[in-house]
């Protein structure tokens, strides 16, 4: 029997006390605390880590503050294209969707693909047809509309820029969760709207198993956020697990190597959350801040945004 533990993120980037009002900060902390609480409740009642990461990511997808689900950013064409994935560390089963719209909780669609098809990933219209067939909850496009995201997209279009979530700043609002359950199982889930003003059809690291998401009971569970293209080229989440498995790195050393050395040296910005089979948690980021929360049984839940906390 293990002491369950959990970590979540709501994206990394240029997040500092200077550019976040105290009201916004309160809202973010509350949203992170809500997601953590829903995961804790499941973990303490003995749920599987997969149920826990799905639940946490659903809560974050439903919160318009984050760039996933309801709060997804706009593509260049003014549409939403969401990516998500899940992986369980006991069986190495994985599921993912890319470029979907109208699906309320893409993470649950990814899980559905994992559990009910012979495939790992579905994308675009095929994924949507599957979502309808499977009875996933769909929402009208205006559910995904936010004036803030719209203004952000208009700004990015004006400059001909592809941006990571936030006008003026670089902020990644992707959400993710990693968990260790009482039975010793690990799981990871990640969900995103991608990058503001991205080309239609662009797929980031989030739905790519091994890049943005990975879980293996032998090593760790990982969920990434940041410049997706860098995380894809680095095969970041799997690289972290490999450093542990083949290089005998600790979770901490491996996470540091990937985020502070490999991704950073290549020019990529971002961070990740990871948890190992003993319940150690790391939440490194090479950007100014990262929305994050973590909890271990017997300890109070914690949230963090800035570097110095
Ligand atoms: N990694 C995501 C992507 O490139 C962006 C993010 O983390 O917000 O799609």
pLDDT tens across 128-157, in order?
A: 999 999 999 999 988 888 777 777 777 777
Tokens of 205: 């690291």
Atom of ligand 1 nearest to the CA of 229: 4
What's residue 167's pLDDT? 40
Long-range CB contacts (within 8 A, 24+) of 88-91: 88/48, 88/49, 88/50, 88/114, 88/185, 88/186, 88/187, 88/215, 89/49, 89/185, 89/186, 89/187, 89/188, 89/215, 89/216, 89/217, 89/218, 89/221, 90/185, 90/186, 90/217
Atom of ligand 1 nearest to the CA of 193: 9
C-alpha–C-alpha distance, residues 95 and 122, integer Å: 8
For the segment 282-302, the average pLDDT, to the nearest whole number, is: 97
C-alpha–C-alpha distance, residues 124 and 127, integer Å: 5
CA of 46 from ligand 1 middle (Å) equals 31
Task: Answer yes or no: is pLDDT of 286 > 70.
Answer: yes
Place of tokens 């952000």: 152
For the segment 34-47, the average pLDDT, to the nearest whole number, is: 98
| DSSP codes joined into one string, 11-55 | EEES--GGGS-HHHHHHHHHHHHHHHHHHHHHHHTT--HHHHHHH
Place of tokens 């639940």: 55
pLDDT tens across 212-263, in order?
A: 999 999 999 999 999 999 999 999 999 999 999 999 999 999 999 999 999 9
Instruction: Return the best residue to mutate from 164, 201, 202 for the ligand 1 pocket (most ligand atoms within 8 A of CB).
Output: 164
CA of 238 from ligand 1 middle (Å) equals 17
Q: CA end-to-end span of the chain, whole Å?
A: 31
Model-level pTM?
0.95
For the segment 289-303, the average pLDDT, to the nearest whole number, is: 97
Share the mean pLDDT of the chain.
93
Question: Hey, whose CA ends up nearest to atom 7 of ligand 1?
Answer: 225
For the segment 42-71, the average pLDDT, to the nearest whole number, is: 96
CA of 206 from ligand 1 middle (Å) equals 6
CA of 289 from ligand 1 middle (Å) equals 15
Q: Is 196 in the pocket of ligand 1 (CB under 6 A)?
A: no
Question: Hey, whose CA ends up nearest to atom 9 of ligand 1?
Answer: 194
Which of the four pLDDT bands, split at 50, 70 and 90, describes residue 305? very high
C-alpha–C-alpha distance, residues 214 and 93, integer Å: 10
Q: DSSP letter for 74, please.
A: P
Q: Is 72 in the pocket of ligand 1 (CB under 6 A)?
A: no
Enumerate domains of the chain plus CATH numbers. 5-306 (3.60.20.30)
Q: Is 205 in the pocket of ligand 1 (CB under 6 A)?
A: yes
* Residues across the chain: 309
Q: Is 11 in the pocket of ligand 1 (CB under 6 A)?
A: yes
Q: Is 228 in the pocket of ligand 1 (CB under 6 A)?
A: yes
C-alpha–C-alpha distance, residues 56 and 131, integer Å: 20
Residue 197 · residue 223 · CB < 8 Å: no
More confident residue, 74 or 56: 56
Which of the four pLDDT bands, split at 50, 70 and 90, describes residue 83? very high
Going from the C-alpha of 162 to that of each of 29, 165, 168, 231, the distances in angstroms are 27, 9, 11, 17
Q: Is 210 in the pocket of ligand 1 (CB under 6 A)?
A: no
Atom of ligand 1 nearest to the CA of 226: 7
CA of 229 from ligand 1 middle (Å) equals 9
SS3 content of the chain, % helix, strand, coil (to 5): 35, 25, 40
Q: Which of 64-78, 160-174, 290-304 has the lowest mean pLDDT?
A: 160-174
Q: Which of 26-35, 50-59, 164-173, 181-190 has the lowest mean pLDDT?
A: 164-173
Residues annotated as catalytic (active site), given as ranges:
174
Q: From 108, 109, 144, 114, select the one nearest 130 (Cα to Cα).
A: 109
For the segment 37-45, the average pLDDT, to the nearest whole number, is: 98
Q: Is 194 in the pocket of ligand 1 (CB under 6 A)?
A: yes
Atom of ligand 1 nearest to the CA of 174: 8
Tokens of 266: 């290549």
Going from the C-alpha of 61 to that of each of 232, 236, 285, the distances in angstroms are 22, 23, 21
Task: Answer yes or no: is pLDDT of 207 > 90.
Answer: yes
Strands 289-296 and 302-306: antiparallel
For the segment 54-64, the average pLDDT, to the nearest whole number, is: 97
For the segment 56-62, the average pLDDT, to the nearest whole number, is: 98
Q: Is 67 in the pocket of ligand 1 (CB under 6 A)?
A: yes
What's residue 166's pLDDT? 45
C-alpha–C-alpha distance, residues 215 and 8, integer Å: 14
pLDDT tens across 146-197, in order?
A: 777 777 777 777 766 666 554 445 667 899 999 999 999 999 999 999 988 8
| DSSP codes joined into one string, 95-139 | EEEEEE-SBS-HHHHHHHHHHHSS-SEEEHHHHHHHHHHHT--B-
Q: What percent of the chain has pLDDT over 70?
A: 96
């Amino acid at each position: 029997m293990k002491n369950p533990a959990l970590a979540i993120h709501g994206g990394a980037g240029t997040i500092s006390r200077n550019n976040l009002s105290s009201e916004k900060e309160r809202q973010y902390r509350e949203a992170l605390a809500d997601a953590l609480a829903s995961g804790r409740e499941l973990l303490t009642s003995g749920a599987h880590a997969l149920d826990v990461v799905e639940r946490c990511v659903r809560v974050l997808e439903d919160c318009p503050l984050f760039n996933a689900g309801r709060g997804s950013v706009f593509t260049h064409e003014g549409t939403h294209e969401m990516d998500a994935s899940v992986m369980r560390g006991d069986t190495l089963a994985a599921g993912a969707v890319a470029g979907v719209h109208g699906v309320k909780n893409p993470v649950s669609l990814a899980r559905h693909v994992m559990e009910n098809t012979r495939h790992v990933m579905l994308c675009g219209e095929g994924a949507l047809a599957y979502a309808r067939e499977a009875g996933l909850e769909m929402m009208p496009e205006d559910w995904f509309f936010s004036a803030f995201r719209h203004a952000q997209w208009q700004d990015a279009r004006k400059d001909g820029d592809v941006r990571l979530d936030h006008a003026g700043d670089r902020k990644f609002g992707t959400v993710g969760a990693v968990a260790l359950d009482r039975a010793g199982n690990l799981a990871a889930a990640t969900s995103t709207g991608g990058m503001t003003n991205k080309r239609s059809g662009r797929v980031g690291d989030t739905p790519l198993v091994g890049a943005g998401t990975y879980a293996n009971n032998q090593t760790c569970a990982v969920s990434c956020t940041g410049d997706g293209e860098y995380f894809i080229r680095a095969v970041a989440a799997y690289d972290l697990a490999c450093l542990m498995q083949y290089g005998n790195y600790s979770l901490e050393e491996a996470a540091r190597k990937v985020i502070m050395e490999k991704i950073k040296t290549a020019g990529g910005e971002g961070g990740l959350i990871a948890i190992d089979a003993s319940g150690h948690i790391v939440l490194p980021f090479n950007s100014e801040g990262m929305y994050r929360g973590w909890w271990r049984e017997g300890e109070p839940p914690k949230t963090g945004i800035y570097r110095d906390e």
